Amino acid sequence: MIKGETLLDLGQEWREFAACSDRTDDLFFPSNESDISMVRVAKAVCQSCPVQEECLQYSLATGQTEGIWGGLTSRERRVARRKRVSTIRRAS
Q: Which residues bind ligand SF4 (CB under 6 A)?
A: 1, 18-20, 28, 45-46, 49, 51-52, 55, 68-71
* DSSP helix/strand/coil, 69: strand
Q: How far is the CB of 13 from ligand SF4 (least distance, A)?
A: 12
Q: How far is the CB of 76 from ligand SF4 (least distance, A)?
A: 13
Q: At a CB cut-off of 8 Å and minimum separation 6, what does 66 contact?
A: 4, 29, 74
Residue number with CB closer to ligand SF4 (38 or 68):
68
Residue number with CB closer to ligand SF4 (34 or 47):
47
CA distances from 43 to 11, 36, 47, 64 (A): 23, 10, 6, 17
